[in-house]
Amino acid sequence: MLVSRNGARDDLVIEGARVLDPIAGVDAALDVTVEQGVVTRLEPAKQSHAGLVLAPAFVDPHVHLRTPGREDEETTASGTEAAAAGGFCAILAMPNTEPVVDSAAVLGALIETARADAVVPVGFFGAITKGQNGAELAELAELADHGAVAFTDDGFPVSSPGLMRRALQYASITHRKLALHCEEPTLSCDGQMHEGVVSAELGFAGYPSVAESVMVERDLALAAYERRPLHLLHLSARESVDALRAAHAAGVEATAEATPHHLCLTDDAVRSLDSNVKMNPPLRSEDDRTALLEALRDGTISAVATDHAPHARHEKDVPFEEAPFGVTGLETAFAVLFTDLVGPGVISLETLLARMSDGPARAYGLEPPRIAVGEPANLVLIDTERSWRVKEERFRSRSANSWLLGRTLTGSVRLTVAAGRVAFAA
């Protein structure tokens, strides 16, 4: 289901790093040999290099590649180069392109492009509804036959509960998950930021937490009734996490993701009036952030997703309310989470690695990256002691709408091996 540029599988030896695969239970200084793209030997290291960690490479389940339609903002080539630089060995691309990925023709063209240009394997979502209009089901079975990994109307909710139910029913024949953008549009209205103390003071129209959580509750109720699994995109609110926890306790098969910005920032950041902290769902309160962190720690939220959303500079360099929602994240995700969460001891490195690799892969039934003999090499080598400054000119992405511009981060990706090929080396 994932496609990338063809090429010879690589041979390489990575010596002396701390090999850390929390799911496989590996944590030792090892020399790792890769032959023709497959891990063939794990041997005790002859000498170890302080600060170097070799881990299963990351999987990003939520990327906007902007192709087709907005190739000025991102292309399959630039987006996958950015992913490789961020340590990702696989990404899933959202279907809210121009045109929307709602037909086998559009999907087929994207897959052809990825075969030519993708530096790391890419999977493509199909839309749930035609044109993401929330009115008519897309031809899900045909999309699945042509390689859609899963279905989503990301960017928009499936507003109608009746249509949502039909989507759950019909998607069952495809054995693909629905991934849901939970937003009750009559509650979010023209909301620009989280509704709370900061929006009250600044005057921005509020986008309340409950606009997300009522849809989370609705979708979980429908999933329970239809006995179907689903995936919840970019959760932001405590009430959503509570609903998910309750659904898990009741046996609902639901997975969920959270973004680096929701895990690191709160609505207080909007006081800067910087359009690079404008995203949907919006940054929420410290209490919401705490709930997301608890859920990430205990696995209720099993995946980190960047929601990498490139935007042209001239579209973001406008007053906040005029700017589109979304920020980039592929090239900074690990470093900012390592700096802001692992550094101060909020979560462990092991948890972060699991949520950036195993969790997202499993959420969509993909083979989770493993470091073991006989496994395909999907590896990321990280220098955990190296600091770097986030600068616009360093991005491989075609867009630079990052909330981290100017920040100094610790933790630098040195090497990414994706599907047995070196995709990035610094």
Partner 1 sequence: MPDLRVMRDDMLPPGASPRKHLLSIRDLSHDDVKRLLTTARTFESSLEREVKKLPTLRGRTIVNLFYESSTRTLSSFELAAKRLSADTMSIKAAGSAVDKGESLKDTALTLAAYDPDVIVIRHPHIGAPQLVARVTEARVVNAGDGKHQHPTQALLDLYTLESELGRLEGVHVAIVGDVLHSRVARSNIQAFQLVGARVTLVGPPALLPRGIEAMGCETATDIDVIRDADVVYVLRMQRERMQEGANYVPSLREYTSRWGVTPERIRPGQKVMHPGPMNRGVEIDPRVADAGNALIGTQVRAGLVVRMAVLYDLLTHGPVGVPAEAALEVA
Is 242 an interacting residue with respect to partner 1 (CB under 8 A)?
A: no
Distance in Å, CB of 211 to partner 1, minimum: 13
**Residues designated as active site:** 307
Edge-first strand order for the sheet with 178-180 is 58-63, 88-93, 122-126, 148-152, 178-180, 230-232, 254-258, 303-304
Task: Write out the binding residues for partner 1, residues 296-315 only, by CB under 8 A.
Answer: 314
Cα-Cα end-to-end distance for the chain: 29
Beta strands in 37-133 (DSSP E): 38-44, 52-56, 58-63, 88-93, 122-126
- Considering only 160, 272, 348, 387, the residue that binds partner 1 (CB under 8 A) is 272
- Considering only 25, 44, 162, 319, the residue that binds partner 1 (CB under 8 A) is 319
Instruction: CB nearer to partner 1: give 143 or 264.
Output: 264
- Considering only 139, 253, 274, 294, the residue that binds partner 1 (CB under 8 A) is 274
Is 406 an interacting residue with respect to partner 1 (CB under 8 A)?
A: no
Nearest Cα to Cα of residue 372 among 24, 8, 20, 3: 24
Residue window 182-201: x/- pattern of binding to partner 1, with contact defined by CB under 8 A: -------------xxxxxxx
- Considering only 41, 271, 391, 394, the residue that binds partner 1 (CB under 8 A) is 271
Nearest Cα to Cα of residue 414 among 377, 388, 393: 388
Distance in Å, CB of 233 to partner 1, minimum: 25
Distance in Å, CB of 270 to partner 1, minimum: 10
- Considering only 206, 229, 260, 376, the residue that binds partner 1 (CB under 8 A) is 206
Is 317 an interacting residue with respect to partner 1 (CB under 8 A)?
A: yes
Beta strands in 100-235 (DSSP E): 122-126, 148-152, 178-180, 193-194, 206-207, 230-232
Instruction: CB nearer to partner 1: give 208 or 360.
Output: 208
Is 288 an interacting residue with respect to partner 1 (CB under 8 A)?
A: no
Q: What H or E segment, with its residue span, contains residue 209?
A: helix 209-226
With 0-12 CB in 10 A as exposed, 13-18 as middle and 19+ as buried, what is 350?
middle
Q: Any idea which residue has 């100094």 for tokens?
A: 408
Is 95 an interacting residue with respect to partner 1 (CB under 8 A)?
A: no
Distances 97 to 21, 75, 228 between C-alpha atoms, Å: 35, 11, 27
Distance in Å, CB of 255 to partner 1, minimum: 31
Kindly state the DSSP code that residue 308 receives in the 8-state scheme. Answer: B
The residues that touch partner 1, with contacts defined as CB under 8 A, are: 195-206, 208, 269, 271-274, 314, 317-322
